[in-house]
Structure 1
Amino acid sequence: NTFIGILPCLMAYFSSFLLRSVTDPRDGKRVALKKMPNVFQNLVSCKRVFRELKMLCFFKHDNVLSALDILQPPHIDYFEEIYVVTELMQSDLHKIIVSPQPLSSDHVKVFLYQILRGLKYLHSAGILHRDIKPGNLLVNSNCVLKICDFGLARVEELDESRHMTQEVVTQYYRAPEILMGSRHYSNAIDIWSVGCIFAELLGRRILFQAQSPIQQLDLITDLLGTPSLEAMRTACEGARAHILRGPHKQPSLPVLYTLSSQATHEAVHLLCRMLVFDPSKRISAKDALAHPYLDEGRLRYHTCMCKCCYTTSSGRVYTSDFEPVTNPKFDDGFEKNLTSVRQVKEIIHQFILEQQKGNRVPLCINPQSAAFKSFISSTVAQPSEMPPSPLVWE
């Protein structure tokens, strides 16, 4: 069977990840240290950080990054930043895509399988990631992938009358409903982002690379054609008027076959199910995983890469559930009672202390060490890491 065996290893493109790796003195293992700085500047900021922290402690999935530990906080009067220990990954998918590293069709399939496997888990927990992009998909040289960065993640809002922020998703991977000013959206926005990444893996270039959100929308309609009025039902008036006053466009989906020789009929069929203008008709993570294009990626992952299956002297023992979900869902009810920065600060402080009960010896930062000063200088946010700008229609 040509799909049994190990994928050709990826070369490691470390970049800033080396600057954030540390050694756990308790066992000598290399881990990643994530700093959450200036947590308590305002109520919105500290509620978002608390949500991310609780998510990282909630996740239990091989394709979703989770917290291994949280460093012991100082006295609450000096508590201003949080340090989270996670598994150390060697690179991210963006660095792999722009590198000269060859990517075979097997690489693409096993990466896409893991992205959707992790996303199915997140969506089953009721969580929207809201910033799926190659830079937020961590990769090891053995091709294992984990979804990371939950700073913009939130629980899906089922009440369509409740407005949701549009300041989400990096522009190139932003779904058309957000570009068109929809005040409510679903987990289908994450699937759109995965579709853009899928095309980028096939073609080794960004699919919709525009200079502005309006141009981004124009590039999407160049490919998908002018959407129907029904598909634009949640759009704001300005966005709908922009579409309707332009020339009527016919779909040009066959151009997807020109992405690369790996853009087979099965690949393009699945890609077209993801890149659907109307979010209600976009494929779900669960259904995408059932697409025949991913059969080989599933087999390869569970034959030699996953932790849920194992090999015995009698042969490979496969798990009964290849793409598990979570039960119960992530509960964000704690946010409703958070009314002040001081209150949230005290709750987060107590939450961290409770997480450490019964665990190994707590770790803490030595601010006088040279390594800490080097770490601080290397973790200044870059412009690409800043929250995406909102789209304002006239």
Structure 2
Amino acid sequence: MAFPGQNRVLQNQLCGTVLGGLGGLIQPPLTAAGLGQKFYCPSGGAVASSPPSQQQPLPVQNQSVPARPGETSSTGEPEPDRPIGYGAFGVVWSVTDPRDGRRVALKKMPNVFQNLVSCKRVFRELKMLCYFKHDNVLSALDILQPPQIDCFEEIYVITELMQSDLHKVIVSPQPLSSDHIKVFLYQILRGLKYLHSAGVLHRDIKPGNLLVNSNCVLKICDFGLARVEEPDESQHMTQEVVTQYYRAPEILMGSRHYTSSIDIWSVGCIFAELLGRRILFQAQSPIQQLDLITDLLGTPPLHAMRTACEGARAHILRGPHKPPSLSVLYMLSGEATHEAVHLLCRMLVFDPLKRISAKDALTHPYLDEGRLRYHTCMCTCCFSVAAGRVYTAEFEPSAGPKFDDSYEKNLVSVWQVKELVHHFITDHQQGKQAPLCINPQSAAFKTFIRSTAWHSSKVSKKEER
């Protein structure tokens, strides 16, 4: 996630309510008369028969007392705008939406139109953020109205603000009970089922891309590597996906085509990490990563390596035969029960064709308690009335029509994509809330314009699919 020149920022902008003094980082657009033209920014369930459950949301340690919108819980003072995340393709800031005083996340995508591959990727991510409508998938709340197309270089997206991510929770001293693990895993799979039903592969599922708040609500984020599933096995797909520790064996072995099962492997690694509070397969190189996997799963049969490149297959076959050692999974922690290990073993399957799907994993009895807790007191699809709890007709909804990326085949130039993105954002704004712009008089403004991605200028120009 990420964000940065001064004049471009002044024309691309959004951020915080005016809270006295210099105000927040975003504000409603100022007129040209006020600041000069260069600062201008255009603008059916059933009622449960039983009484409501007494289950409560699972707290995260040091949960704060709720504050009024835009204020800190401890002092009641306006909460400062600040950066909260840096990534390969942008920077994320915590800011205040002046329209309702709510704290939101502002993602800045800088240097979008440097090359065709980069701008196609950003356009895809932007369309996905606007397409997704699911409690466990992060989506766009708003997009900053763009300037005139000649000045259009950066994109700003507002999303819901989440307080932490699963990586920070795992490495923290926060105790994780069996209930925590079940409700986290349930939400990951619930969101993933939705993505896969839309025909979307995430391709970078890892704890840092799973946002959580103090009530343990979880959302899948960061769709910078996401793409539509490719049904044609003869079509090559990039292998430069998924953080190594969570990378499926078929990718490690050089397969040029893969399916949504790569995301399930990643979830299995995260499940084990939740149980053991440490990374399951932590190697220094892809080859060592593969060796750690075969140490646990055993030497795979030839048919499980049918899509592997010759070198990777030879590496496995010339090594000693390894028997499976899955029983060591019971030693991850006291929470590694028989049901937990059974589900984990259905995810960590070498052969992607035999790996469990998100839809089927959600039917596993291990997740029954997580489903009950989530829909009793955490979800937005169910609600309580005097007669009891009103439950949704479908606990794990699928997407409607599949996400359509057919437009990408006709994208042949950076300028063409730039025009389409500009038009898409402008259309997205019509009939919605008043637009927002960056406030150049905000105390955070100078820091904001200097904040940038880790290496946004180093995005590969090689065609990425």
TM-score, with structure 1 as normaliser: 0.94
Within the alignment, does 1:316 sit opposite 2:389 as a pair? yes
- State the AA in 1 paired with 2:348: L
Deviations 1:88-122 (A, max 9, x none): 00000000000000000000000000000000000
Instruction: State the shift of 1:369 in Å.
Output: 3.8
- State the AA in 2 paired with 1:223: L
Equivalent-residue separation in structure 1 for 2:382 and 2:169 (angstroms): 27
Equivalent-residue separation in structure 2 for 1:239 and 1:333 (angstroms): 33
Within the alignment, does 1:272 sit opposite 2:345 as a pair? yes
Match of 1:11 among 39, 61, 73: 61
Equivalent-residue separation in structure 1 for 2:62 and 2:152 (angstroms): 36
Instruction: State the shift of 1:26 in Å.
Output: 1.0
- State the AA in 2 paired with 1:137: L
Asked if the contact 2:202/2:227 (under 8 Å) is kept, the reply is: yes
Equivalent-residue separation in structure 2 for 1:387 and 1:298 (angstroms): 40
Segments of structure 1 that go 5 or more residues without pairing to the other structure are: none
Count residues in correspondence: 387
Match of 2:284 among 205, 211, 218: 211
Residues 204 and 376 of structure 1: is their aligned pair in 2 closer, same or farther, counting only changes over 3 Å? farther
- State the AA in 2 paired with 1:243: I
Which residue in the other structure is 1:365 paired with? 438
Equivalent-residue separation in structure 2 for 1:100 and 1:2 (angstroms): 32
Asked if the contact 1:12/1:90 (under 8 Å) is kept, the reply is: no
Instruction: State the shift of 1:370 in Å.
Output: 3.5
SS at match of 2:107: strand
Which residue in the other structure is 1:81 paired with? 154
Which residue in the other structure is 1:90 paired with? 163
Which residue in the other structure is 2:354 paired with? 281
Instruction: State the shift of 1:327 in Å.
Output: 1.5
Asked if the contact 2:296/2:325 (under 8 Å) is kept, the reply is: yes
Equivalent-residue separation in structure 1 for 2:448 and 2:344 (angstroms): 40
Show the 5 A alignment for 1:132-211: 132-211=205-284
TM-score, with structure 2 as normaliser: 0.80
Segments of structure 2 that go 5 or more residues without pairing to the other structure are: 1-50, 65-81, 86-91
Equivalent-residue separation in structure 2 for 1:376 and 1:294 (angstroms): 45
Match of 1:291 among 343, 348, 364: 364
Asked if the contact 1:3/1:299 (under 8 Å) is kept, the reply is: no
Show the 5 A alignment for 1:37-56: 37-56=110-129
Match of 1:352 among 425, 428, 431: 425
Instruction: State the shift of 1:367 in Å.
Output: 4.6
Asked if the contact 2:204/2:243 (under 8 Å) is kept, the reply is: yes
SS at match of 1:120: helix
Identity of aligned residues (%): 80
Higher gyration radius (CA): 2
SS at match of 1:132: coil
Equivalent-residue separation in structure 2 for 1:247 and 1:146 (angstroms): 42
Residues 162 and 13 of structure 1: is their aligned pair in 2 closer, same or farther, counting only changes over 3 Å? farther
Within the alignment, does 1:333 sit opposite 2:333 as a pair? no
Equivalent-residue separation in structure 1 for 2:124 and 2:445 (angstroms): 26
Q: Comparing both structures, which one devotes a greater share of its residues to helix? A: 1
Asked if the contact 1:171/1:213 (under 8 Å) is kept, the reply is: yes
Asked if the contact 1:17/1:91 (under 8 Å) is kept, the reply is: no
Equivalent-residue separation in structure 2 for 1:218 and 1:16 (angstroms): 39
Q: Which of the pair has the greater relative contact order for Cα pairs under 8 Å at 6+ separation?
A: 2
Instruction: State the shift of 1:256 in Å.
Output: 0.1
Match of 2:306 among 229, 233, 237: 233
- State the AA in 2 paired with 1:36: M
Asked if the contact 1:4/1:300 (under 8 Å) is kept, the reply is: no
Deviations 1:161-184 (A, max 9, x none): 000000000000000000000000
Which residue in the other structure is 2:188 paired with? 115
Deviations 1:140-171 (A, max 9, x none): 00000000000000000000000000000000
Deviations 1:189-213 (A, max 9, x none): 0000000000000000000000001
- State the AA in 2 paired with 1:9: P
Instruction: State the shift of 1:259 in Å.
Output: 0.1
Asked if the contact 2:118/2:459 (under 8 Å) is kept, the reply is: no
- State the AA in 1 paired with 2:303: E
Asked if the contact 2:52/2:389 (under 8 Å) is kept, the reply is: no
Asked if the contact 1:12/1:91 (under 8 Å) is kept, the reply is: no
Deviations 1:23-61 (A, max 9, x none): 111111110000111100100100000000000000000
Asked if the contact 2:209/2:222 (under 8 Å) is kept, the reply is: yes
Instruction: State the shift of 1:17 in Å.
Output: 2.5
Equivalent-residue separation in structure 1 for 2:62 and 2:238 (angstroms): 36
Instruction: State the shift of 1:252 in Å.
Output: 0.3
SS at match of 1:69: strand
Residues 217 and 126 of structure 1: is their aligned pair in 2 closer, same or farther, counting only changes over 3 Å? same
